[in-house]
Structures are given as structure tokens and as C-alpha cells.
């Protein structure tokens, strides 16, 4: 199974854990990644991040990536949620849960999903700092 979401609100981790555990009894490991807005970039003070993408396009893209990674590493289930809009320092940006029979493939899958979202996704990211804004 896989589940993706790109929206202004992330589900709480407890409900995500509950959902992923209910889907199958083949899980031996669940890894959780929580991306959080950091308050600095080098010496620069960060105020907030802004994430923009067309919701349906982003969810299709994430589904494709998760499907590829799931098949590559043989993990049982994956949930990915990424926040859109304004995200302030200390707030969660992204939740990724990877459920697998064993931990080795779960760690590999989790790392690849995070890296691909960060480096390849159609999200437009804008960082607002004390001295201005930067688009990535």
C-alpha cells in the first residue's frame, strides 16, 4: 500500500501510525521521518518557508516516486505527507512513514524517498529570512 498527501495540513503522527499498523500484519519495522523548519541557514535567521505546487500534480509525482522506491526495496507500506503554503520555524514540513518486514530495506527506502522529494520534486520552495527571501 501507499498513501500520499500534499496540503496545508498534515495528519498527526499518532493517526498515521495507527493507519499504517492496521493495514497488514506483515510489518516488523516502522520508520518515521519528520522534517521541521530550521531557524537558520548558515548565519542567516530563517523566519518561514513557503511551498507551492499544484496539489494533484504533486500527489501524482509523490505516488510515482513512492511506488518506485517501494518496488525497489520491497517495503510493505509507505505514507508521505508534505505541507503546502507557509510553514513557520519549528513546524513540521513533511512526515514519511515506511513500514517493512525488516529494518535494512526500510532505512534505504526512507532515505531515498526523502532525497528524491528534496531534490527532484515539482515543489517551488521559498525561504523567508530576516534579510529577504530566496527561491529554490
Q: What distance lies between CA 33 and its chain's CA centroid?
A: 7
Domains of the chain: 2-135 (3.90.1170.40)
pLDDT of residue 3: 98
At residue 70's C-alpha, the angle toward residues 104 and 76, to 5°, is 70
Q: How many Å is the maximal CA-CA distance in the chain?
A: 51
Helix (H) or strand (E) holding 94: strand 92-100
Torsion of CA 12, 14, 15, 19, to 10 degrees: 140
pLDDT of residue 133: 75
Local structure of 118: helix, strand or coil: helix
Calpha distance 19→36 (Å, rounded) = 22
- Cβ pair 21, 97 in contact under 8 A: no
Is this prediction's pTM over 0.75? yes
Per-residue pLDDT tens, the chain, 136 aa: give them.
999 999 999 999 999 999 999 999 999 999 999 999 999 988 999 999 999 999 999 999 999 999 999 999 999 999 999 999 999 999 999 999 999 999 999 999 999 999 999 999 999 999 999 998 777 6
Amino acid at each position: 500500500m501507499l498513501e500520499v498527501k500534499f496540503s496545508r495540513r498534515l495528519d498527526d503522527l499518532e493517526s498515521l501510525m495507527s493507519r499504517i499498523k492496521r493495514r497488514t500484519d506483515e510489518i516488523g519495522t516502522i520508520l518515521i521521518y519528520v522534517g521541521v523548519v530550521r531557524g537558520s541557514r548558515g548565519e542567516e535567521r530563517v523566519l518561514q518557508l513557503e511551498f507551492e505546487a499544484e496539489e494533484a500534480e504533486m500527489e501524482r509525482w509523490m505516488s510515482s516516486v513512492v511506488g518506485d522506491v517501494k518496488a525497489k526495496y520491497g517495503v510493505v507500506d509507505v505514507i508521505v505527507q508534505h505541507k503546502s503554503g507557509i510553514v513557520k520555524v519549528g513546524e513540521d514540513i513533511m512526515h514519511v512513514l515506511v513500514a517493512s518486514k525488516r529494518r535494512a530495506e526500510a532505512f534505504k527506502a526512507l532515505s531515498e524517498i526523502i532525497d528524491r522529494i528534496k531534490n527532484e520534486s515539482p515543489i517551488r520552495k521559498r525561504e523567508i529570512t530576516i534579510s529577504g527571501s530566496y527561491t529554490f
